[in-house]
Amino acid sequence: MLKLICVVAVVGCSVAEKRCPPKSWRAEEVSLGLYLPKIDNVYEPRKEGDHSLVYYDADNKRSAIISNFTVGSKTGDNKYIFDYTAGKKYTIDLKANTCKSESFTETFKEWCITDDATFLYDAKLGYTADGTDTVDAKVYYTENVVHSHTVGHITAITSDLNVPIQSYTFGRGGDKYLLLSLVGNVASPIPAADADVFTPPASCSSSYLPEAELDLSAGPLRRLLLGL
């Protein structure tokens, strides 16, 4: 069982400096989202979760995600590859061993804590009382608007590499949902053993659309890279 103990020293709120992670890294993310959407004037509880490996390569403007996820009663094992230079997105259904390719025009999203974020406090994440095996982190608050809805984010990044390791995302203005994400096993640069993670299957089709494809994702890193 993963246990995190957060010991924080509040230093007040201030405008942050822009903080960016290394140009190349891989991280493991576990997320759980709880939602209460109003459907036909009735609130219906919903749960989403995922366990993903996320790959980020800013130098070559590409990213990849390997994910086991649950949306309601449905589950999936998908891999996504985004090649922003070529303008191609690949969706691979790992259970059905099928692949779909499609063109897209989005620009590569650099993952950074921007200078308009609010710095909240320094934190120490770990699981030992004597302070060993802990991670020093900085915590920030940001907001953005997605499909006319305001979303708040509390994000902890490592003090050394500026890689996100913990986050809470929540709806503002009446939107009822909460999303928790924990990130670990960070490696920078991307390990040589994973060098082929950005290579799509040779049989990938531009016309095939898996019937069971769920282009949904719970984790903040996945949402960022999927453009959700």
**Across 62-78, average pLDDT:** 88
* Two tokens, residue 101: 């390719």
Evaluated on CA atoms 137, 111, 47, 90, the torsion sign reads negative
Query: Peptide bond preceding 37: is omega within 30 degrees of 0, i.e. cis?
Result: no
- Contact of 188 with 161, CB cutoff 8 Å: yes
Residue 217 pLDDT: 45
- pLDDT at position 68 over 50: yes
Return left, alpha or beta for 162; rule: phi > 0 is left, psi -120 to 50 is alpha, else beta: left
Q: Report residue 157: phi and psi, to 5°.
A: -120, 155
* pLDDT tens figures, 12-39: 556 567 899 999 999 999 998 887 766 7
Mean pLDDT of the chain: 80
* Two tokens, residue 87: 């303008």
Distance CA 165, CA 158 (A): 7
Task: Give the length of the chain.
Answer: 228
Of the candidates 161, 165, 194, 158, the one whose C-alpha atom is nearest the C-alpha of residue 180 is 165
* Two tokens, residue 147: 């499909």
Residue 133 pLDDT: 75
Residue 9 pLDDT: 41
